[in-house]
Amino acid sequence: MAADTPTTERRRQARQAAREAARQAVGPGAEVPPEESAPGRGGRPAGPGDPLSGALRRAGLVRLLVLQLLDGEEPAYGNRLIERIRELSGGLVTVNPNTMYPLLRRLEDEGLAVGEWEHPVRRSRRFYRITDAGVAERETLRDDVLPTLDEVADAVASLRRELTG
C-alpha cells in the first residue's frame, strides 16, 4: 500500500478532528436524534441530527432564544421567531412550526410568556411577550446553555485551526 500524501494525511486528521469535536459536543453515550429536513451549509443536514447543533438543542438553546427574542423591540410571533433564529444562527439552527408553536403554548402554560391575538376576531397572528417569570427562566437557562455553546465554539475553532494549518 502506498504512503499517504501530506494532503491525504491532513484530510484524514481533519475528519478525525471533526469526529472528535462532534463526540465532545454531544457528550459520551449521548444519542443523536434523527436529522431534520432543513439543509445546512454545503447541502448537509442541519438541525437535531447534526451533533454540534443537536448538543445545543438538548441544552435548551431554542427555548433560550425564544425567551430572549420575546424580550425584544420587534413584535414576536411564531413565524418571525423561526426566521430570527435561522438568521441569528446563520442557518445552523432551524426550527419548524411543529416545534415553535407547541413551545410557545408551553411557555404560555408555564407563565413564562403571554400571547395576544393581533385581531381577536380573525385570530390572524398571535403576538407574544415575555413575563417576569420568563425573564428569570431565561437567566437560569442561559447559565445552562452558555457552557455548551462555548464547547461547540471551541470545537469549531479547533476544526478551523486544523483546516487552515
Question: Residue 39 in 3-state DSSP?
Answer: strand
Whole-angstrom Cα distance, residue 53 to residue 114? 28
Within 13 Å, how many C-alpha atoms sit on residue 132's CB side? 0
Domain 49-164 has CATH 1.10.10.10: yes
pLDDT at 73: 85
Question: Residue 45 in 3-state DSSP?
Answer: strand
Whole-angstrom Cα distance, residue 150 to residue 25? 10
pLDDT at 142: 96
User: Per the structure block, which three cell numbers stand in for 78?
Assistant: 411564531
* Amino acid (one-letter) located at 9: E
pLDDT at 35: 33
Q: Provide block-wise average pLDDT over 10 residues at a time, the chain (165 residues).
A: 60 58 46 37 49 80 96 90 94 92 97 91 88 97 93 91 92
pLDDT at 55: 80
- DSSP, res 6: H
Whole-angstrom Cα distance, residue 127 to residue 115? 5
CB 78 within 8 A of CB 115: no
The model's pTM is 0.68
pLDDT at 70: 97
